[in-house]
A and B are shown apart, each in its own frame.
Chain A
Amino acid sequence: MARKLLLEHIHVPDIQTFDVYRKKGGYASVEKALKTMTPDAVMEEVKTSGLRGRGGAGFPTGLKWSFLDRKSEKPRYLVCNADESEPGTFKDRYLMEKIPHLLIEGMITSSYALGAKTSYIYIRGEYMYVLRILEKAIEEAYAAGFLGKNILGTAYSLDLYVHPGAGAYICGEETALLESLEGKRGNPRLKPPFPAVAGLYASPTVVNNVETIAAVVPILNMGGDEYAKIGIGKSTGTKLISAGGNIAKPGVYEIDLGLPVEEFIYSEEYCGGIQDGRKLKAVVAGGSSVPILPAQLILKTAKGDPRLMSYESLADGGFQTGTMLGSGGFIVFDERACIVRNLWTFTRFYHHESCGQCSPCREGTGWMEKVLHRLEHGHGHIDDIDLLVDVAKKIEGNTICPLGDAAAWPVASAIRHFREEFEYHAKYPDKVTDPKHFHKEPFVSKKMMVNV
């Protein structure tokens, strides 16, 4: 069995309750930090651990913490980003639902390190039932003296609240999240200033993903240097992977970073292979925004090395032949899946979720959706393919926030690797009118499906 740092106790009965969680060693990191360490020492442990943001960007967490403006007279805030909305990603929901106190514990220890007196967990509104679970856990933590005034008899006090969103992917972008937490539309802010200087209520703020904050708990317990020994290179520690799509066993898996992709897909311990024994066609490895890769490039890099589940290995080859670890939303496509139809759903998603601030994104996502809709429904033209590439290029890099890039990358990569399939849609419109057009007869690319 693989090592588990976050999900170790997930199947213990009543682990959602404070008492059971505590009996299993819960809240030890709070005791250790508050009673034996300075806030800076906690931050140093996180730096040493090499932990990188688990929401998708992979930015070193300790470094992000070190940017917090400590000279400011204003209060500091820690805000947990629980707005998990990247298609293919459901790990944070699983963690919060199954072991809520792990997040609460991580919030307390991290807030202490940052000197925050008030912290918020911003959770997507659809997860309202998870919000109830978190609220109950917070109530228990208050009652046990782990939240509120003078925690464990120390000088440190902290209030922690959960705040619901109301359905907007864009609020997963940290500045949009802060706008939303201030009761506004989720329009991302221009940076600089960065949240570390002027975030929530224009005060110094750190925004971290659920899994990132949860990982602070084992880091404190085992020590940053021990944590850094897990994984490979600059991809340290364990990572939660949300595995979905056409696999035998969808679910959330905790892996050591560096696990071979092939093992992850085919081993019984993880995905258990492709659904109904069909063939692997493609994978979106890190949530809908990252480039899609055909089977041969997800299993092996262009150089022929085995592809690993790590930030570096997945990115090997750049966007020409690589992708990104992203949020760890691992979507698997079997031979019956239509790449064009999937891309249409993704682009429709980005069009729906664009906040509308920047014209390239607001208009471009709409155009891409429209063009993909007609290609997929048999009304497309061969020129549409280059038109899509062109629109995607004009969005990328030209918007305030990364949603524009996130909408452009899937389009560019799908056409890069599956152009023949797009051409097929334009050339043989009659063959794609049935929505399940590749179910009876999978599309076989002369270039792509060899040796798979």
Chain B
Amino acid sequence: MTEIKFSEETLALVNKMVRRYPEGRQKSALLPVLHLAQAEFDGWLSVPVMDYIASLLALKPIEVYEVATFYSQFNTQPVGKCLLEVCHTGPCWLRGADDIVEHIENRLNIKVGETTSDGMFTLKKVECLGSCGTAPMLQCGADYFENLTPEKVDILIEKLGVANKRSTYMKSNQLENLA
């Protein structure tokens, strides 16, 4: 197993983040640093990764575990390269979120919570993403895809597959407009 360690570039970013908080309050950087970790270490937070973050910020491992398990965006299990998070709270439901979920399930031949056999896509239903005026929508990494139709979903899946990049919250996949 390779050693778990941030790149020099990310380490510099971590140090910059820690300096945003008063001395001795480096724990404040935990959420932003866990975002960095998830982006750098295959899209999820394994126990060794969480232990590494604990040592980096001089925290007890449990302080990292309890935070990682509390917040919805942190994955404590492996996920596909592209995590498709479809909002299904009231306002999105009113505008057809169920149809979008069903379409993705059929198109990728997986159910909600599952990953495609090639490890490319994971489908997840999530609660309100603050995009009710452009519903239905899904989030993939840093990108919001809004006013979805089954046709737009097909184009999105196609493009994500061709790009074949891991989507992360830290960086846009920079796909062109789907319209």
Q: Kindly provide the distance from the CB of B44 to the nearest chain A CB, expressed in whole angstroms.
A: 13
Q: Kindly provide the distance from the CB of B16 to the nearest chain A CB, expressed in whole angstroms.
A: 10
Within 8 A of B (CB), among A89-128: 89-90, 92-94, 118, 124-128
Answer yes or no: A305 CB below 8 A from chain B CBs.
Answer: no
User: From B93, which residue of chain A is reached at the shortest CB distance?
Assistant: A345
29 contacts between A and B (CB under 8 A): A84-B130, A85-B128, A88-B91, A88-B132, A89-B132, A118-B22, A126-B130, A128-B169, A164-B35, A166-B72, A167-B72, A167-B126, A169-B127, A181-B28, A182-B25, A182-B28, A184-B63, A242-B132, A242-B133, A245-B91, A246-B95, A331-B90, A331-B132, A337-B94, A342-B90, A342-B93, A345-B89, A349-B90, A349-B127
B: which residues have CB within 8 A of A? Answer: 20, 22, 25, 27-32, 34-35, 63, 66-67, 70-74, 88-91, 93-95, 98, 126-135, 139, 142-144, 169-170, 172
Q: Which of A128, A161, A183 contacts B30 (CB 8 A)?
A: A183
Instruction: Report the bound CA distance from A126 to B94 in whole Å.
Output: 21
Q: Kindly provide the distance from the CB of A228 to the nearest chain B CB, expressed in whole angstroms.
A: 29
User: From B67, which residue of chain A is reached at the shortest CB distance?
Assistant: A185
Q: Kindly provide the distance from the CB of A257 to the nearest chain B CB, expressed in whole angstroms.
A: 20
Answer yes or no: A366 CB below 8 A from chain B CBs.
Answer: no
18 other A-B residue contacts (CB within 8 Å) besides A125-B73, A331-B132, A342-B94: A87-B91, A88-B91, A93-B131, A94-B133, A125-B35, A126-B73, A126-B169, A128-B35, A128-B170, A166-B35, A182-B28, A183-B31, A184-B66, A201-B25, A245-B91, A245-B95, A250-B134, A349-B90
Q: Kindly provide the distance from the CB of B177 to the nearest chain A CB, expressed in whole angstroms.
A: 15
Within 8 A of B (CB), among A324-348: 329, 331, 333, 337, 341-342, 345-346, 348
Contact B133 A244 (CB under 8 A): yes
Contact B71 A161 (CB under 8 A): no
Q: Which residues of B contact A435 (CB under 8 A)?
A: 98
Contact A349 B135 (CB under 8 A): no
Q: A87-B91, A342-B90 are in contact. Are A125 and B127 (CB under 8 A)?
A: no
Q: Which residues of A contact B72 (CB under 8 A)?
A: 166-168, 352
Central interface residue in A161, A166, A186, A341, by most chain B CB within 10 Å: A166
Answer yes or no: A252 CB below 8 A from chain B CBs.
Answer: yes
User: From B69, which residue of chain A is reached at the shortest CB distance?
Assistant: A185
Instruction: Report the bound CA distance from A88 to B170 in whole Å.
Output: 25
Interface residues on A, range: 35 or more
Instruction: Report the bound CA distance from A166 to B39 in whole Å.
Output: 13
Instruction: Report the bound CA distance from A345 to B161 in whole Å.
Output: 31
* Leading 3 A-B pairs by shortest Cβ distance: A167-B72, A166-B71, A244-B132
Q: Which residues of B contact A128 (CB under 8 A)?
A: 35, 142, 169-170
Contact B20 A168 (CB under 8 A): no
User: From A284, which residue of chain B is reached at the shortest CB distance?
Assistant: B90
Instruction: Report the bound CA distance from A288 to B9 in whole Å.
Output: 42
Instruction: Report the bound CA distance from A186 to B70 in whole Å.
Output: 8
Q: Kindly provide the distance from the CB of B141 to the nearest chain A CB, expressed in whole angstroms.
A: 9
Instruction: Report the bound CA distance from A45 to B22 in whole Å.
Output: 31
Instruction: Report the bound CA distance from A124 to B27 in whole Å.
Output: 18
Q: Which of B27, B89, B91, B93 contacts A182 (CB 8 A)?
A: B27
Q: Which residues of B contact A88 (CB under 8 A)?
A: 90-91, 128, 132
